[in-house]
């Protein structure tokens, strides 16, 4: 504040000059790095779990699904918006997108499970454009229980359009299945 002198009407008053000096001393002693903790891109990786806990992400399956540091940062950044829109189709799409699984298509109601029964309205199916492992599928199902509308029930996670090729890259060890879980 020394760069900005007091306005002329206040400069003549000794009380304001003293107040200005006290404020300068107090502001000079402030450690601004403490305030930078919410700049998620600059935070040390060791602090990400603490921020995740603060945003109620640590105990959710989403944190376990975020395998890279970049995915964890994206998840912490989007936590406020996810909590705000929890229970909407947008939240389902967004959390899957933030975790790095790409875009998804949601099929709801009669499109999720074609049948003539009227009780199909709360059903939905998530069509992924990327293959996921069986372990990831279990965690995604757990995650969708907390993100999806409470009235809805997940029929399946479907990725048959991008099923695994038979080219010896994926092994038959039970880690993958045949396009739906």
pLDDT single digits (tens) 1-53: 445 577 777 777 888 888 888 888 888 877 766 666 678 888 888 889 988 99
* pLDDT tens per residue across span 125-139: 999 888 888 888 999
Neighbouring residues of 76: CB distance < 8 A, sequence distance ≥ 6: 40, 48, 51, 52, 55, 57
Q: Is residue 170 part of a domain?
A: no
Q: Is residue 35 part of a domain?
A: no
Rg, Å, the chain Cα set: 25
Range of the domain at 114: 40-162
pTM (global) more than 0.75: no
Q: Is residue 5 part of a domain?
A: no
Q: Is residue 68 part of a domain?
A: yes
Instruction: List own/partner pairs for 110-117 with CB under 8 A and 24 or more apart.
Output: 112/155, 113/155
Q: Is residue 167 part of a domain?
A: no
Q: Is residue 171 part of a domain?
A: no
Q: Is residue 146 part of a domain?
A: yes
Q: Is residue 113 part of a domain?
A: yes
Number of domains in the chain: 1
């Amino acid at each position: 504040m020394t760069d900005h002198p007091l306005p002329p009407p206040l400069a003549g008053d000794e009380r304001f000059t003293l107040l200005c000096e006290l404020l300068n001393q107090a502001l000079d002693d402030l450690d601004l790095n403490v305030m930078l903790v919410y700049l998620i891109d600059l935070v040390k990786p060791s602090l990400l779990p603490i921020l995740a806990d603060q945003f109620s992400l640590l105990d959710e399956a989403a944190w376990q699904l975020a395998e890279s540091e970049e995915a964890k940062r994206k998840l912490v950044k989007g936590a406020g918006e996810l909590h705000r829109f929890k229970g909407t189709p947008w939240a389902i799409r967004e959390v899957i997108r933030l975790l790095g699984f790409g875009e998804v298509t949601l099929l709801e109601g009669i499109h999720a499970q074609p049948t003539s029964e009227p009780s199909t309205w709360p059903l939905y199916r998530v069509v992924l454009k990327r293959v996921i492992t069986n372990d990831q599928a279990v965690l995604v199902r757990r995650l969708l229980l907390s993100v999806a509308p409470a009235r809805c029930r997940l029929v399946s996670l479907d990725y048959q359009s991008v099923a695994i090729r038979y080219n010896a890259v994926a092994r038959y060890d039970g880690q993958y299945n045949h396009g739906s879980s």
